Amino acid sequence: MEFMIMVFIPSIVLSVGAQIMVKSAYKRYSQVPARSGLTGAQAAQQMLRANSIPDVGIEETQGMLSDHYDPTKKVLRLSPDVYHGSSLASLGIACHEAGHALQHAKGYTPLYIRSVMVPVASFGSQFGQYMLIFGVILAGWGAAFGGMVAMAGFALFGVAVLFSVVTLPVEFNASSRAKEQLVSLGLLSGPDEEKGVSKVLNAAALTYVAAAAVAALNLLYWAMILFGGRRD
């Protein structure tokens, strides 16, 4: 029980803390208009055009902070506030997603690895822990195959954890590309706007760091149960 507390309390603190930081940064800089007057969609379009990427579309999608790049359909999907907004937060987030399109176009290896891992990682994140729990329960009841079920769940969950780790360089690199492009294309005016965009993107990056740390802590917990002889 003590070890479980040591794992889950930090997990909750990391998750909640990261969400608070990103929402706080977004709320603050979504109210600061960029002097260029460009919307997020326009800034992303300029970034794509400047890098000779004509085959990536930009669409509006619903939901707050639901922004993402779909490499299978080559489209940036931006939430309404980012798509239409002309704030520093809108420009930063939109160009971050355009940064993923640049990664795709230039064959950025970590993005390719992450894309390959998606099906197994998605299955592992959804069912890995359930298989672990079910396998441990079966083993506790004396079922011979319980251990095999638990180990299969552990392997699947391990892939999901690895996916969250591989995601880190992908997200950090996309943010770096966004900040560099925003400055080089003249879409930001002065250090104050650069600082504002950096704060938004750095806060967003923390959510991925927190997710990877939480996943790793959970994997450590299950490793202690399976290989350390713990059942509490």
The two tokens of residue 224 are 């202690």
At residue 30, the 3 state secondary structure works out as coil
Dihedral sign (CA 225, 221, 146, 141): positive
Question: From CA 118, how far away is CA 140, in angstroms rounded?
Answer: 32
Cβ distance 47 to 185 under 8 Å?
yes
- φ/ψ of residue 188, rounded to 5: -115, 145
The answer to whether 211 and 162 have CB atoms below 8 angstroms apart is no
Whole-angstrom Cα distance, residue 30 to residue 92? 10
Residue 14 DSSP symbol: H
E-state strands within 140-228: none
Rg over CA atoms, the chain: 21
CA–CA distance from 59 to each of 26, 44, 50, 122, 123 (Å)?
21, 11, 19, 24, 28
Is 97 marked active-site? yes
Which of the following is catalytic: 97, 171, 180, 193? 97
Q: Identify which of 104, 71, 68, 100 has the alpha carbon closest to the alpha carbon of residue 83.
A: 68
Catalytically active residues, by annotation? 97
